[in-house]
Structure 1
Amino acid sequence: MPFQIQPLTPAIGAVIEGVDLAQPMSDDLLQTIRQALLRHKVIFFQDQQLTPVQHRDFAARFGPLHTHPLYPGVPEAPELFILDNHAGNPTDNDAWHTDITFIETPPMGSILYARRLPPLGGDTVFSDMKAAYEALSAPLRNFLAGLDAVHDFARGFPARGRVAGAAGAEKHSRALDEHPPVLHPVVRTHPETGEDGLFVNYGFTERIKGLRRKESDAILTMLFAHIQQPEFLVRWRWTPNAVAFWDNRVTQHYAVNDYLPQQRIMNRATVLGDRPYHRSRMPAQAQARVAAE
């Protein structure tokens, strides 16, 4: 089958056909996939037969990989981690979030591979943060663009949470010490497309800096609800051995928790990205890149 891109909605999501991710990939094909990711924000590949090493090696073509401080790694490729959810280990991902925004250089993308699926359910929903930002009124967009927000590991992985419990108190305590709260802009300028999008998420964003707590809570609550509008969403129904690759800089996602007590096993690779910025506070290296273009 020749290479084809089938968009799923006007805003977000596309299925890519005619690519075997297990095979060696030319730079040209890799660049084509990257451009599809930038255009559609989340891309899907079906019927892939990937070993953990092949999964890791494909992800590593896009940048250095992040190793999660709590989730168990895959033995053959420890850069990957395992999401194994069942009646004895319910999911903790049934909340809207952007991956790992609790570090200074959050991921540019994540690549998720379906290893075992329930007969029904277990979909993942993705939201387009560019579309969500552009749907806000101009005065609100201008107000938000000047703000920063605190992202906190402890919010997403509390000590009494299921992931922390499975990892153990010592491992969680060490991760907590290694990941103090960080500041990111509320509106992020995409480092490759130059487009602006919301960059706050329920999973890790604790508060907006410089606002009173009630003001921060009210604005964040509104934004967390706003990004769930159907116009910004695509819902992916998983099939065996499918792969989802999302641009973590301009999306959020939600793992639908409707399949218990059935089991769902996924492997994920996470590609590190750049330090987020807004165009009004663009770092020197980004300014140089824009000037060169």
Structure 2
Amino acid sequence: MATQIDKNRLDTGALDIHPMTPAIGAEILDIDLAATDIANSIPAIRAALLKFGVIFFRDQTLTQDQHIAFARHFGDLEIHPATPKDQPNPEVLRIEHGPQSRGQENNWHSDVTWRERPSLGSILLARDVPECGGDTLFANMHLAYERLSVQMQRFCEGLTAVHDIARVFAKRLGKAPEELHEKYPPMRHPVIRTHPETGQRAIYVNTGFTSHIEGLSDKESRWLLDHLYTSAMDVEIQCRFRWRAGSIAFWDNRVCQHLAVSDYFPARRVMERVTIAGDTPYFDA
């Protein structure tokens, strides 16, 4: 069972923190994530992640090995099925778009909710970015839950949704859904999940991977999912991050959704993501 944490009392140490909006996000300045003594700052960085949902760093020069090493301070790492099998660092998912590949991540989602244990967080490093465009938006899904009516909160708290990798990756990986399901069968997660560290409740369905809500008719399921999806679109629970080469965003997938704006085509945008494994979502009544 999670214990509610007062976010205002989280110890972020001596970090130079600048909140992005009142709802979500903060930039942490004057820190080198590749420093040999970075382990000393990990408790404060983790506290900042829990407090702000997503944290940002500028002017980082991490190699892939250093990127992986930093992420390992927060837990075990995942290997994404879209990662080429022959690449030297399978923990790094390279997301590259340009003249031959328009960005496809422009929908509100939380990463890998099709896993039994979806990720704790994602650490995304910008390698090459357009002169302008290609921003990423983040939404606080705890605040989205708080803005539901009490009656809708109670209704959703008893529901379970199905998350399916094939909805996105069957076409991208050139595989039949049945083939993907052999290794990654559809997963059942609560529509409202409890954050295991803060105890906060958050909406946990997303346009990318959620196929339906169990126990409802197709029409009811679609209506309710559409209603919950739109909750992420409230600008008052969002922040927007403009990338530069060497920028890093580290977000908590248990409470955030994000959307990568694909407005930069045909310019080139190259990002590298390392993802930290999480735990099985649950609802603490």
TM-score where L is the length of structure 1: 0.89
Equivalent positions of 1:90-105 (< 5 A) are 90-105=102-117
Per the alignment, in what secondary structure is the counterpart of residue 49 of structure 2?
A: helix
Partner of 1:241: 246
The question of whether the paired residues in 2 share the 8 Å contact of 1:73 and 1:80 is answered with: no
* Candidates 230, 235, 238, aligned match of 1:230: 235
Question: Which deviates more from structure 2 when the two are superposed, residues 28-37 or residues 172-181?
Answer: 172-181
Per the alignment, in what secondary structure is the counterpart of residue 91 of structure 2?
A: strand
Cα distance in 2 for partners of 1:117, 1:18 equals 22
Give unpaired runs (5+ residues) of structure 1. Answer: 281-293
Cα distance in 1 for partners of 2:258, 2:90 equals 24
Partner of 2:216: 211
The question of whether the paired residues in 2 share the 8 Å contact of 1:74 and 1:81 is answered with: no
The question of whether the paired residues in 2 share the 8 Å contact of 1:74 and 1:80 is answered with: no
Partner of 2:256: 251
The question of whether the paired residues in 2 share the 8 Å contact of 1:150 and 1:206 is answered with: yes
Measure how far apart 1:27 and its partner are: 4.4
* Candidates 55, 62, 66, aligned match of 1:54: 66
The question of whether the paired residues in 2 share the 8 Å contact of 1:73 and 1:81 is answered with: no
Per the alignment, in what secondary structure is the counterpart of residue 63 of structure 1?
A: coil
Partner of 2:51: 39
Per the alignment, in what secondary structure is the counterpart of residue 269 of structure 1?
A: strand
Cα distance in 2 for partners of 1:9, 1:74 equals 41
Equivalent positions of 1:1-293 (< 5 A) are 3-72=15-84, 75-158=87-170, 161=171, 163-165=172-174, 169=175, 174-280=179-285
Cα distance in 2 for partners of 1:48, 1:195 equals 31
Q: What CA deviation, in whole Å up to 9, does each residue of 1:147-188 have, x standing for no partner?
A: 110001111223xx3x224xxx49x87534211111000001
User: Runs of at least 4 residues of structure 1 off by over 6 A?
Assistant: none
Cα distance in 1 for partners of 2:169, 2:226 equals 20
Per the alignment, in what secondary structure is the counterpart of residue 157 of structure 1?
A: helix
Cα distance in 2 for partners of 1:73, 1:111 equals 21
What's the RMSD between the two structures over aligned residues? Answer: 1.6
Partner of 1:283: none
Cα distance in 1 for partners of 2:74, 2:106 equals 27
Q: What CA deviation, in whole Å up to 9, does each residue of 1:86-115 have, x standing for no partner?
A: 121222211111000001100000000000
Measure how far apart 1:239 and its partner are: 1.0
The question of whether the paired residues in 2 share the 8 Å contact of 1:147 and 1:208 is answered with: yes
- In structure 2, the CA distance between the partners of 1:173 and 1:207, relative to structure 1 (3 Å rule), is closer
- In structure 2, the CA distance between the partners of 1:148 and 1:53, relative to structure 1 (3 Å rule), is same
Q: What CA deviation, in whole Å up to 9, does each residue of 1:220-260 have, x standing for no partner?
A: 01111121110111110001100000000001100100111
Cα distance in 1 for partners of 2:88, 2:115 equals 26
Question: Which deviates more from structure 2 when the two are superposed, residues 193-202 or residues 69-78?
Answer: 69-78
Q: What CA deviation, in whole Å up to 9, does each residue of 1:189-248 have, x standing for no partner?
A: 000001101000000011111111110100001111121110111110001100000000
Per the alignment, in what secondary structure is the counterpart of residue 22 of structure 2?
A: coil
Cα distance in 2 for partners of 1:142, 1:173 equals 35
Q: Give the residue type in structure 2 aligned to 1:128.
A: N
Give unpaired runs (5+ residues) of structure 2. Answer: 1-13
Q: How many residues align?
A: 272
